[in-house]
Structure 1
Amino acid sequence: MSRTRVLIAEDQVLLRSGIARLLEDAGMEVVAQAGDAEELMRKVRAHRPDVAIVDVQMPPDNTDDGLRAAIALRAELPKVAIVVLSQFLEERYAVDLVGDDARGVGYLLKDRVIDVAEFADAIERVANGGSALDPEVVSRMVGRRRADDPLDALTPREREVLGLMAEGKSNRGIAELLGLSGAAVEKHATRIFHKLGVADEPTEHRRVMAVLRLLRAG
């Protein structure tokens, strides 16, 4: 089985090297590293990694250069998955990044890197076409009340399950966190898909479509 090929774009050299070491130890292959948005674009085009991990704030402007480059790469090279790392929580970043397709995209706060197992799992899931949104973003979106909210039809437990789906948790992971059986999680997921109007398609696609519904509701 081939290793997941990763490119890391982060202007802080120590953090970039640390992430590279963590992912290599987790069994992934770091094919390239970049320190600014222009280098990111150039190296992704050259190496075509499975997933690019991108800091929001990067040179040359040190504003949202990384995010803008990530959005451009999603449009140009849709087969390259993107995980954006942010120092601060900005919901609009997640919404702008996802756009109309939640497949192969992640938005995480940098603090999540500390939990190596969870971080590596999120990278692998996104690289394989899933999605991973930071728990803080999910919490705000699920908890907010809106007019004509499509989430109103969900029970509190279904909201919990949807939130964990959006974070990128597998059914097994959700079951362990909520103290449920795998069958119970599957039933909750099926009801969520039905209530949100997600078509009966392959399971992973239905999950990311449910995440997209959550983002659009925000």
Structure 2
Amino acid sequence: MRVVIAEDHSLLREGLVLLLTSAGHEVVAVASTGPEVLPALLEHRPDVAVIDVRMPPHFRDEGLRAALEARTKSSGLPVLVLSQYVEETYAAELLGGGASGVGYLLKERVGRVDDFLKALERVANGGTALDPEVVNELLTRRRGSPLDALTPRELEVLKLMAEGLDNTTIAGTLLITERSVSKHIGNVLLKLGLPPGDSGHRRVLAVLAYLNNR
């Protein structure tokens, strides 16, 4: 994959370059300040971009703004946004509108190399990758009917669905069969009043839309 990296912290930036090149990807550009991000994205049109939310000069949401603008101008450019903390508003804005090819992870997840690379690939292929901490925040804030109707196992499955994981990965994580996962997902969608027919990415978006609009 061709990747653009936007990160102001030099150590993390160089670490990402080394990590991605070692995994066989091509880093076509790096940006260390907010104003550099959009031009780099529009010039190189990467397969996916890894972007810090807060960048110089003001350390507010320069990276996120550049990512959103690039996605508008570059036909839904896949973007994986990194943040130091759980910033639910930013996650909701990035994932709003039925977006595909988006991810929002805490920077600490980069240290879990295999998980990070899988999340990056999922985003590049049009999927979603939402940090477990963000999912927990959304679920905690929205607790109440009909979420209270979910069993503990169904709630576990819902969390993993919202992170963007497929049935096989959910089954392996929970040590249950894929058939059981499908059954739990069906129950979750039924109890939340979501369309039962869609699978994969659109199913994740349905869950995220539910969580963001309760």
Counterpart residue type for residue 141 of structure 2: R
> Given that residues 51 and 79 in structure 2 are in contact (C-alpha distance below 8 angstroms), is that contact kept between their aligned partners in structure 1?
yes
Alignment of 1:10 with 2:29, yes or no, is no
Residue aligning to 1:132:
129
CA deviation profile, 1:118-139 (whole Å, cap 9, x unmatched): 0000111111111111111111
2:182 alignment partner, one of 179, 186, 193: 186
Unaligned runs of 5+ in 1: none
> Given that residues 186 and 196 in structure 2 are in contact (C-alpha distance below 8 angstroms), is that contact kept between their aligned partners in structure 1?
no
Residue aligning to 2:102:
105
Percent of aligned pairs with the same amino acid: 50
1:52 alignment partner, one of 49, 67, 75: 49
CA deviation profile, 1:45-104 (whole Å, cap 9, x unmatched): 011112111101111212221122222223322331111111111111111211212421
Task: Tell me the CA shift for residue 29 of structure 1.
Answer: 2.1
Go from structure 1 to structure 2 and tell me whether the alpha carbon gap of 1:183 and 1:51 turns closer, same or farther (over 3 Å shift).
same
1:208 alignment partner, one of 187, 205, 210: 205
Task: Tell me the CA shift for residue 150 of structure 1.
Answer: 4.7
Measured on the aligned residues, the alpha-carbon RMSD in Å equals 1.9
Counterpart residue type for residue 186 of structure 1: S
Alignment of 1:85 with 2:82, yes or no, is yes
Q: What TM-score do the two structures reach when normalised by structure 1?
A: 0.89
Go from structure 1 to structure 2 and tell me whether the alpha carbon gap of 1:41 and 1:162 turns closer, same or farther (over 3 Å shift).
same
Alignment of 1:43 with 2:40, yes or no, is yes
Task: Tell me the CA shift for residue 7 of structure 1.
Answer: 0.9
Task: Tell me the CA shift for residue 106 of structure 1.
Answer: 0.8
CA deviation profile, 1:152-186 (whole Å, cap 9, x unmatched): 44332222111112223222221122111111112
1:171 alignment partner, one of 158, 167, 171: 167
Count, aligned residues = 213
Counterpart residue type for residue 88 of structure 1: Y
How far apart, in 2, do the equivalents of 1:187 and 1:60 lie?
49
How far apart, in 1, do the equivalents of 2:179 and 2:210 lie?
24
Which runs of at least 4 in structure 1 moved beyond 6 Å after TM superposition? none
Q: What TM-score do the two structures reach when normalised by structure 2?
A: 0.90
> Given that residues 2 and 27 in structure 2 are in contact (C-alpha distance below 8 angstroms), is that contact kept between their aligned partners in structure 1?
yes
Alignment of 1:144 with 2:152, yes or no, is no
